[in-house]
């Protein structure tokens, strides 16, 4: 199947937008990684200034999924760095959305995955292993559930209750 742009998805799915089954995230995320456009089923994670669970999930087979990390919007440290970007690529993840910061931007930009984050920060996170996997999270003004679909490109980020087609 050809990649669906977010603009095409919005134009072709007005009833889904109206019902809330297709949602547009607030345009606050910066674009990183070599994959400027990516999509896939979502795996969610809720953490705060601690990336142990981020690594744990990225060590599993990605199978084209997108890891959505609710870092509480913290701008005080990075939750994903170059090593985790490379791990995500190696394990077959399509992308990562971080409601927080990343670091090692040049390394992440060299990875063949898509990454969206609020910004970059040079400080690494703590390593306590505190957080929740596969839970509903609130990011960018919308509720995102494990198993939904994320579509991202240069125009924006969409969350859909189901896989979209044109």
Binding residues: 81-84, 103-104
Give the annotated binding-site residues for substrate.
81-84, 103
Binding residues for Mg(2+): 104
What Å distances lie between residue 131 and 26, 72, 78, CA to CA?
A: 24, 11, 15
């Amino acid at each position: 199947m050809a990649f669906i742009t977010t603009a095409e998805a919005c134009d072709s799915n007005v009833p889904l937008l109206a019902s809330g089954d297709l949602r547009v995230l607030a345009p606050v995320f910066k674009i990183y990684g070599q994959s400027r456009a990516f999509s896939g089923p979502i795996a969610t994670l809720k953490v705060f200034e601690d990336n142990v669970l981020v690594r744990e999930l990225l060590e599993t087979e990605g199978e084209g999924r997108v890891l959505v990390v609710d870092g509480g919007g913290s701008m005080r440290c990075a939750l994903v760095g170059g090593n985790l970007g490379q791990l995500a690529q190696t394990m077959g993840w399509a992308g990562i959305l971080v409601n927080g910061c990343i670091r090692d931007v040049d390394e992440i930009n060299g990875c063949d995955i898509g990454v969206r984050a609020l910004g970059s920060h040079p400080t690494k996170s703590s390593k306590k292993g505190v957080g929740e996997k596969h839970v509903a999270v609130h990011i960018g003004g919308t509720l995102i559930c494990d198993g939904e679909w994320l579509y991202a490109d240069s125009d924006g980020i969409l969350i859909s209750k189901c896989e979209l087609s044109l």
